[in-house]
Amino acid sequence: MRSKVKLSLLNTSAVGGGLPDPDLCENEAVGSLSPITEHKDGITVTYNAASIARWAWFGYATWERATFEVLERFVPDRVVLDVGAWVGQTVLWEAHLAKSVVALEPSRSSFRALCWNLAANPEDLQS
């Protein structure tokens, strides 16, 4: 059984002094949610097809194989700091294994897509 995690988000380009604002995603319009489900190493991840990096999800099952082998070794039951979270490919996967995940993304457009993809995975969020 997977545990719920709290994903703390920080858009460093929007927050003065780099201080986290847990309400940042609530300010991002999710628009129409078009969920698409992908599977990677026994973990199911849903993403919003409207996100800017939809192309990055095609081939997700085999994408960055070496990276996910490292994550499989070090992520379980730990607090993970995902710096450069982009649109959430690793964040959403880590959420299934980690004790908690802190995701940092400085790009406004990538941060918006990350919020959309988090909204497509409400079971992974804990308030």
Which pLDDT does position 116 carry in this prediction? 82
Residues 71-119 have pLDDT tens digits of: 999 999 999 999 888 888 899 899 889 988 888 887 777 887 888 888 8
Residue 3 clears pLDDT 50, i.e. is over it: no
What distance lies between CA 15 and its chain's CA centroid? 19
Could you tell me the CA-to-CA distances from 73 to 86, 97, 120 in Å, in that order? 22, 10, 26
Residue 2 clears pLDDT 70, i.e. is over it: no
**Cα angle 48-45-21, degrees, rounded to a multiple of 5:** 65
86 φ/ψ sector (left φ>0, alpha ψ -120 to 50, else beta): left
Residue 61 clears pLDDT 60, i.e. is over it: yes
The mean pLDDT of 9-25, rounded to a whole number, is 54
Which pLDDT does position 71 carry in this prediction? 93
